[in-house]
Structure 1
């Protein structure tokens, strides 16, 4: 049955739409960790009832982006330095598994796309654009993996650490650019060569280096 244009969307569809909207705001830095999310304000902003808003917040809680407190409300999740370090330690161990699933299936078009993304990364000084392009590059390398649970875990780790990656990039972006570019180029070349083990090693090193450098900047977690 086709839904009429003036009929409200089903609750599940509305909840997902609201969750996607808030997730985009969090990842873009418009809602920072510790920010309170008021259900009534969100319902008014999106012309929605409170029921799909509540369900959307539960979806975001499951994704680790929102923390709900009974009878108190919802806040954008805040990580401390130890939480973030653990997230990166998990990424070091499991993200290469996702790469291993996808790498043998990458096409010439995929590799050309990786080259284009890396050129764009090297051409920008804007941290926000870098974060978008960097994410596109890495997830292009994973696009052929058929491992839904692994994808869900890694997406959660990327999303929940986005604020801290942004803050760190603003502090150290210029100093780290050549290292990031070199590691990306090594990763792309290993994938082009079909050397999956080398690609895994480069990726693990890439994630570990960011984790170690974050340890030297505790101010990122107090802002």
Structure 2
């Protein structure tokens, strides 16, 4: 049964991931309760759940606020997710059929249309990889990958592309290679493609982090 706490949790979680609630923004119980037409109790419980997810920070005397991630911390999460996701995708590959491959083909087509829009492209890319690992037998693994993706979404939804611009044009190419491997049941080749993807991101990360820090410093210095 979907409880009031569940409703508050899902609503607040979606608002954080969609960017309607910004990193560092204060989360006032009375305001949220009025906005969601709930009492403060389910809001408080929902905030505790979101703290567990790493999306909210609870302060003893200042209440709750949307978590702020550093680029470094976000990458640490991404690195773990990428390796777990690769394992999930490999284990799911033998179970894909024409219908699931068709859905992945659709996401690839959408990627090509939105290649210049980082946030939209990030969402489509996530949908593609969610479909790719959707048939992995280990449900806990699938859920954990999604949780890690949520934790880093503040930055990975767009900023990674902003500071690793070559990744935007790479996505549909990688996706086509991955789909070809799934269709041909070539798991060895699929593993190579997934590992090459991780290697490319890992190699690009130091320069991206440096660029991110330079911009953050510039924005913090008065003109």
Deviations 1:32-63 (A, max 9, x none): 22222112111111111010001111111121
The answer to whether the aligner puts 1:134 opposite 2:125 as a matched pair is yes
SS at 2:38 equivalent? coil
How many residue pairs were aligned?
A: 212
CA distance in 2, matches of 1:178, 1:213: 14
CA deviation after TM superposition for structure 1 residue 100, in Å: 2.2
Query: Pick from 40, 61, 73: which aligns with 1:50?
Result: 40
Match of 1:203 in 2: 194
Q: Give the match for residue 151 of structure 1.
A: 142
SS at structure 1 position matched to 2:137: coil
The change in CA–CA distance for 1:127 and 1:159 in structure 2 (over 3 A counts) is same
Q: 78-87 vs 205-214, which deviates more?
A: 205-214
TM-score (normalised: structure 1): 0.85
Deviations 1:116-170 (A, max 9, x none): 1101110123333212211110000111123232123211211111121212324
Which residue is 2:106 aligned to?
116
Match of 2:159?
167
1:95-106 maps to which residues of 2 (within 5 A)? 95-106=85-96
CA contact (8 A) 2:164 2:208 kept: no
Q: Is residue 35 of structure 2 the alignment partner of residue 37 of structure 1?
A: no
RMSD: 2.1
Structure 1: 5+ residue stretches without partners: 1-9
TM-score normalised by length of structure 2: 0.85
Which whole-Å CA distance do the structure 2 matches of 1:209 and 1:156 have between them? 23
Structure 2 gaps of 5+ residues are none
Partner SS for 2:58: strand
